[in-house]
Amino acid sequence: MTEFVKVAKTTAIEPGKSSCVEASGKKIAIFNLDGSFFAIDDVCSHRGGPLSQGQLQGENVTCPWHGAVFDVKTGAVVKGPATAPQAKYNLRVVGDDIEVEI
Domain ranges of the chain: 4-101
Give the chain's mean pLDDT: 97
pLDDT over 90 (residue 29): yes
So what's the pLDDT on residue 54?
98
Assigned architecture for domain 4-101 = 3-layer Sandwich (2.102)
Please compute the mean of the pLDDT values over residues 20-30 and round it to a whole number.
96
**CA–CA dist 31, 46 (Å, integer):** 20
Angle at 36 between CA 77 and CA 101, to 5 degrees: 70
Please tell me whether the overall predicted TM-score, pTM, comes out greater than 0.85 for this model: yes
pLDDT bracket for residue 65 (50, 70, 90):
very high
So what's the pLDDT on residue 76?
98
For 96, how many CA atoms within 13 A lie in the half-sphere containing its CB? 6
Q: At 12, is the secondary structure helix, strand, or coil?
A: helix
